[in-house]
Structure 1
């Protein structure tokens, strides 16, 4: 990302009164953020309110400082990369952006990411959410609750799952630690994080501070993600908002222990609203940490006693894991070879030729799922998801509820 591109994305994200929804409408209408700010007020008013259009013609407060901070952070990635850790700022439309977040009500415009440099350099989604499970719970769990979180995460990671949580004290930390205990010693060539931490602060801060060592371990085998600008402190209002990302990145959410006022219940309810599965581990009727789980169970969450109880509800994940394993074992040609470049060109679409590609013909005009479209085209999942996102931003394809896509007819 160039400095000009970064400046445009940050300006769009920081403009007062222009939320993620309005920003996505602007991107769909005008393309990249840089093109938005060259539009007339009347043109902007065609997709946003007049007050928002007026704000877009002004520099937002703190924009210059945020740009300097973010650019310096990205440019200083060399020292971190020497230890294998990379930094990235991933906007909508980037092939690394997790496709599952596009299905939630309020996907972030940008994600700040820390993780293995080799993975962040690959133009593929950071995470296949079909093979990810959120594990959340009390910040003050019982000893059994901590052990349950650790052992469930360890077993899931051993079977190829990614454990998503929030790096908080208690259950979150135990879940991350359990996943790391099952991580391979050597990184696989494919992007296969064992755990992802979604934080409610700027990604340059670790909260709580006692999780510094855990955070450093996570970025060697997984990712830390944040939607908040660098330097953002741990504000109470940000943590419930980040919970939608924890739920959205996962095929389901497991609540290990939670009091009735726990933010983990927010994550579980967001997961249910997003069409994801919700699981809960029952506990003692006398333990306050169990009352939230019992409430979820009364509301229809799946009662969990073992990892098998989770796997039975997510059969599609097994197929996704098998595909990932097969893809990881298939040699990938390098760009240094002309023959490899030619072969890669048959798999990865070029933005300049996407409109002429037969994928649009294969899609037709009826709603179609990704698996069905993949079967018709033969494209690999990462290439197809990236191409569909490009077409969505270009107004050629619409994303429908239930993970379906539909070709649009332009007048």
Structure 2
């Protein structure tokens, strides 16, 4: 892309990347264009993508407010593959993080790209689950692509760049600004065939992404949780208003476009596309006595009818296998199979 083409694009784009060009701003704008082109030339993994690029996400291009310019770092072909967005609370529970990780992993195993916002909590767990399965993931940033936010995601930032792509409509050096994060949500949902919300309170920013997905004509999925905890109220409201209740990957796959669904269902990954079978679970009686909310050891003993010393032994084995986790006040169940 030459300077004139990029200058034209930036002159037409929304405020998120460049202010509207006035006559007196031409020199400053050209300097920014040159800086952007220098950034792109600095690495073979730096890209400036416009709607005329073959790598511009096709679903995103359908939006009336689609970004005029995307700054990208990583494997650019990840932008055009079928994808599902996973979003949720930054202050997620242990179960919520496990669900995000598991769905990220399972989607990656099917060959779908996982899209999220690189935030703490559900976003980070979804990216990590995808990467653990060797999949591709897109991190849509509320900063420039040269900014790592939150700082503790430095390794995740590098891993996403190696196995997927980091994306932003903001100039590469733009620092965190609270108003920019809601703006990027339309890109998360707009890139994706559907958005799964995992653990969201009623005022969660994830509900903005879900609303945008619905307005964009995309699928909206929600994972239910305990009615006693406020962490899931946003998800329950989404389900009441028409979002699809999800408890397995099959619930997502069956809502995908027919040709893509037929392809995915033909893949040899049957366990993830069927309802879970608990017949092979270890210590089934004990495991059934541990809830998805904190369960005290004496409650586990009472419900299972097993001696306390054996309960403690089996709980340790289940914890090592990843079925339960020790938390203050007892144990919580992490997965069904």
TM-score, structure 1 normalization:
0.60
The answer to whether 1:63 aligns with 2:14 is no
What SS does structure 2 have at the residue aligned with 1:313? Answer: coil
Q: Does the 8 Å contact 2:254/2:261 carry over to 1? A: no
Q: Secondary structure at the match of 1:164?
A: strand
Describe the SS at the equivalent of 1:126: helix
Task: Quote the offset at 1:321 in angstroms.
Answer: 5.6
Query: What residue number does 2:54 align with?
Result: 95
Tell me which residue corresponds to 1:286: 228
Q: Which runs of 5+ in 1 are unaligned?
A: 20-51, 185-193, 324-411
Task: Call closer, same or farther: CA 1:283–1:217 in 2, change over 3 Å.
Answer: same
DSSP 3-state at the match of 2:79: coil
Equivalent residue, structure 2, for 1:146? 97
The answer to whether 1:274 aligns with 2:216 is yes
- After TM superposition, the structure 1 = structure 2 runs for residues 110-149 of structure 1, keeping only pairs within 5 Å, are 110-116=69-75, 120=76, 126-128=79-81, 131-149=82-100
Question: Secondary structure, in 3 states, of the residue corresponding to 2:59?
Answer: helix
2:116 counterpart (165, 184, 196): 165
- Residues 101-250 of structure 1 mapped to structure 2, 5 A cutoff: 101-116=60-75, 120=76, 126-128=79-81, 131-183=82-134, 194-250=136-192
Equivalent residue for 1:2?
A: 2
Residues 367-378 of structure 1: pairs in structure 2 closer than 5 A:
none
Q: 1:315 & 1:271 partners in 2: Cα distance?
A: 16
- CA shift, 1:300, in A, is 1.1
1:50-71 alpha-carbon deviations (Å, 9 max, x no partner) = xx8xx56553584244224312
Q: Which runs of 5+ in 2 are unaligned?
A: 267-337
Q: CA 1:315–1:99 in 2, change beyond 3 Å: closer, same or farther?
A: closer
1:312 to partner: Cα distance: 1.7
| Inter-partner Cα distance in structure 1 for 2:265 and 2:7 | 40
Kept after mapping to 2: 8 A contact 1:195/1:221 = yes
The alignment covers a number of residue pairs equal to: 265
CA RMSD of aligned residues (A): 2.6
Distance in 2, Cα, partners of 1:267 & 1:320: 27
